[in-house]
Amino acid sequence: METKTVYIVYSPDYMDTTDIYGVFDSKERVDEFLNRFKDRVDELEIREMVLNPQFQGDKKRNPYCAILYKSGMAMLSVISNPADCDKAIKNEHEIIEIDGEPERLFCYFLAETRDQAWAEGMARMEKLVELGEFKLDGEIY
pLDDT in tens, 13-57: 888 888 899 999 999 999 999 999 888 777 889 999 888 877 667
Residue 57 φ/ψ region, left for φ over 0, alpha for ψ in the -120 to 50 degree band, beta for the rest: left
Check pLDDT > 90 for residue 12. Answer: no
pLDDT score recorded for residue 3: 74
The number of beta carbons lying within 10 Å of the beta carbon of residue 77 is 12
